[in-house]
Structure 1
């Protein structure tokens, strides 16, 4: 199984290697790492690791917590996106099957952003929204939390679930959710916005297959 681990650590030489060695000593195999932010001598990094199914992830928290200056922000399950460059692969799939382009995007986003599910929501004149399509884990026809203001952003719902949203053409929005995980970082919201923008541009530009 794959886990996403978000840690805050000192932004100095050797800190990253120490975290990687600690993960390895605990039995995790690092398959990906991303820097989310660097400021005031601290960095916020996401590690994707391969972890034995059923093993207690507490070993990871305990090991990382013993490293001076390292704070564990969150550990949660994730899935491996398809392709070496998943963002580009998704846009290619959107162009290949344009009649399902928006749904393909929503179905692919959870793996890309380590989320539980994603969906397409339509908003009405009164501001209420309903999911007209949901990926595995979501519930089509359900009402997501209030999406206003409808702009790229992240927020925490009253039930504690984390959300990221991005407007789609028309009165729609791309909604992404996860529970038991840290809030969506601004870089994740930006990635969602770029994916939605690229998909919309491909479809509106008529870059579709000819019969």
Structure 2
């Protein structure tokens, strides 16, 4: 199975090597490392690992926390294939998706961000759900107000979300993760860039307008 680990560790030579050895001893194989933050002698990394189903998340946490100075911020399941450029593939499909451009975007977001589900609803009251991915709840918690730019937050109950405006479409997009840590600012920035490109595609506004009229 593929897992995503978010860890904080000392930003000094040898720290990542100790983490690698600890994960290897626990039966995990590192496939990708993404540095999210560095500063004040600390680093925050997202590490994607492949490990047998018999290896529990608890085993990985115990192995990592046995390394001096390492703190585990989250361990959660991911479907994003490491070492690829999935945004490029998704944007290619969206550009040729016709009336399914918005649906293709929303269905893709949980995979791209190791999240649970995504959805979009209208900005105006009464807020109406336009489309949601297959794991979305029946009652999607659309925000009372659409933020001017994508913003991460954690709802009561522990659901982590990013709320993002789609201004030309008068829609609000939600990306949600219940397992793992809150969305990092780097993830928010990544989503922002994807949405900027999506909204500049010539076919986007026309195709979504046709979909909403159906």
The TM-score, its normalising length taken from structure 1, stands at 0.89
Alpha-carbon distance in structure 1 between the residues aligned to 2:204 and 2:160? 33
Alignment partner of 1:33 is 2:25:
no
> Aligned ranges for residues 23-172 of structure 1 at < 5 Å?
23-81=23-81, 84-125=84-125, 129-139=127-137, 142-168=140-166, 169-172=168-171
**Bigger CA drift: 86-95 or 169-178?**
169-178
Does the 8 Å contact 1:83/1:89 carry over to 2?
Answer: no
| Alignment RMSD (CA, Å) | 2.2
Q: Does the Cα contact within 8 Å between 1:131 and 1:141 map onto a contact in 2?
A: no
Aligned to 2:211: none
Matched, 1:2 2:9: no
Contact 2:119 2:129 in 1 (8 A): yes
Aligned residue pairs total 205
State yes or no: 1:182 paired with 2:181. yes
Give the distance between the partners of 2:147 and 2:108, measured in 1 at CA.
Answer: 25
Structure 1 unaligned residues grouped into runs of 5+: none
Kept in 2: contact 1:10–1:42 (CA 8 A): yes
Note the residue ranges of structure 2 that are not aligned, 5 or more in a row.
208-214
- How many Å apart are 1:81 and its aligned residue? 4.5
Counterpart secondary structure, 2:56: coil
Distance 2:204 2:112 in 1: 25
Normalization by structure 2: what TM-score?
0.87
